[in-house]
Amino acid sequence: MKIINVKLNGKNCQINIGYNIFSNKNMISYLKVYNNIVLITNVTLYNIYKKTIIFSLRQFKVINNIIILNDGEIYKTFNSIKIIVNNLIKLNYGRDITLMSFGGGVISDITGFAASIYKRGVKYINIPTTLLSQVDASIGGKTGVNNSLSKNVIGTFYHPKCVIIDTMFLKTLPRREFISGLSEVVKYAILFDKTFFYWIKSNLDSILFLDNKVLYDCICRSCKFKIDIICQDEKEKNIRMLLNLGHTFGHAIESFTKYTLLHGEAVSIGIVISSIFSNYLCKISLEQVQEIIDLFNLIGLPVTGPKNMKSKDYFRYMIRDKKNFSNKKIRIIVPNKIGKCVLLDNVDINLLTKIIDNNFLNDVLKYKKI
C-alpha cells in the first residue's frame, strides 16, 4: 500500500492507495481514530457492499450511522445536501462527527459540501469507488452540487482528512463507468507527461483487464499529478485551471444531454474539440491531434459531440463556466502538444463556432479514417 501525506496550507490529507485495503485490521484501527463516523453512500453501492465492507465497518463500530442517497448525477443537488443535513440535525450530531463518503465523484462532491457547511465544518473522509473518483474527484477538496443552469457552480474548497483508494472496488464498477474514468487519466498525460501518454497506450490491454499491478501504477501516477498541482495552487487561482482540460466543453455537453453522457465521456469529446481548436491556432500538430483521437478510440471513449448540439448550445453553458471572469469571455485549456497545455484567455468565438458547426465533425471523421 502506498501512503502519500499531502500538506496544503496547514491542512493535512493522507492518501492511501492499495488493493483490498479493508481486509487489513490496521485500516480498521486507523479509521477508529475518527469517532462518530456517518457513512454517506447511494442505494447502488449500499446494495452491493452491505454484506461485505459496510457490514464490517458496522461490525467493528467504525461507522455509527448511514445515510443512503439516490444514485445519479441528477441527485447532485441542494436537495441531497438538505437530506444529509436534516438527518444529522435530527440525530443530534455535533461538530465532532466525521462524514465518510463511499461512492463515486457524485457522492464525494456532495459529502464534502455537506461536511463543509454542517455546523460550519466537520471532518470528512473519502472512499472513492469509481476510477474517476480515485484519480480525480476524491482528491483536492473541490466539493459541490449542480444547478439547473450550470454544473458544479455551487460549492466550496474543503479537503478530506484522508482518502482511501482501494482498486478492489473497480471489480464491481460497470464497464462504461470504468472507461469513463480513463478519460481523466488520459487528461493528465496530455497535460503533463508524454511518456505517460504512450505508457497508457502500450499498457491499455492490462488496464482494461484490471490487472492489479498496472492499474495500481496507473492510479498512483495519476494521483501524483493531481497532488502536485493542488499543492501549488489549492484554490484554482492559476495552474490548477489546467486540470479543466476538456471540461468547459464537457460540462456543456453533460448539461445539454441531461447527463445521459457520463462525465468522462463528455470530457474526452471536450479534449478533442480543444485539440482541434488548438491545431487551428497552429499550436498542436495534426499528427498529435490524431494520436489523441486514436487513443480515445482505442479506449472506447467518444470523440464527437451530440449531432444536434450546435455552437450556440455549447456557448449557452460555457458562458457560465466558473473559470470565466464576469466579463462573459470564455476561457479554455488547450494542448500545445501532448504533455503541455495552456490556458486561452480570450477565445476567438468565430473560429470556435466554425469548428463546432462546420469543420469539427468532418475533421474528426477524416482523422479517424487515416
- Binding to ligand GLY by residue 144, rule CB under 6 A? no
- Binding to ligand NAD by residue 196, rule CB under 6 A? no
Nearest to 81 by CA among 62, 106, 47, 45: 106
Q: Which residues of 235-263 are buried (b: 16+ CB within 10 A; e: fewer)?
A: ebeeebbbbbbbbbbbbbbbbbbebebbb
Nearest to 305 by CA among 266, 343, 342, 355: 266
Please identify, among the stretches 44-52, 72-80, 136-144, 269-277, the one whose residues bind ligand GLY according to the rule CB under 6 A. 136-144
In sequence order, the 6+-apart residues with CB closer than 8 A to the CB of 39 are 54, 57, 63, 65, 66, 67, 100, 102
20-49: which residues touch ligand NAD (CB under 6 A)? 42, 44-45, 48
CB of 236 to ligand GLY, least distance (A): 6
Q: Among ligand GLY, ligand NAD, none, what binds residue 303 when CB lies within 5 to 8 Å by partner kind?
A: none
Please identify, among the stretches 113-121, 169-177, 205-213, 312-320, the one whose residues bind ligand NAD according to the rule CB under 6 A. 169-177
- Binding to ligand GLY by residue 54, rule CB under 6 A? no
Which of 140, 155, 250, 335 lies at the binding interface for ligand GLY (CB under 6 A)? 140
- Binding to ligand GLY by residue 322, rule CB under 6 A? no
**CB 255 within 8 Å of CB 34:** no
Q: Among ligand NAD, ligand GLY, none, what binds residue 240 when CB lies within 5 to 8 Å by partner kind?
A: ligand GLY
Please identify, among the stretches 67-75, 236-244, 310-318, 329-337, the one whose residues bind ligand GLY according to the rule CB under 6 A. 236-244
Which of 62, 73, 93, 113 lies at the binding interface for ligand NAD (CB under 6 A)? 73
Please identify, among the stretches 135-143, 204-212, 313-321, 348-356, the one whose residues bind ligand GLY according to the rule CB under 6 A. 135-143
CB of 185 to ligand GLY, least distance (A): 12
**Residue 157: C-alpha distances to residues 142, 152, 171, 324 (Å):** 5, 12, 30, 18
Residue nearest to ligand NAD (CB): 105
Which of 53, 189, 243, 347 lies at the binding interface for ligand GLY (CB under 6 A)? 243
Q: Is the dihedral of CA 260, 355, 330, 314 positive or negative?
A: negative
Please identify, among the stretches 191-199, 235-243, 304-312, 313-321, the one whose residues bind ligand GLY according to the rule CB under 6 A. 235-243
Applying CB under 6 A, the residues found at the interface with ligand GLY are 136, 140, 142, 236, 240, 243
The footprint of ligand NAD (CB under 6 A) covers: 42, 44-45, 48, 71, 73, 76, 103-107, 109, 129-130, 132-133, 136-137, 140, 142, 152, 169, 172-174, 177, 180, 263
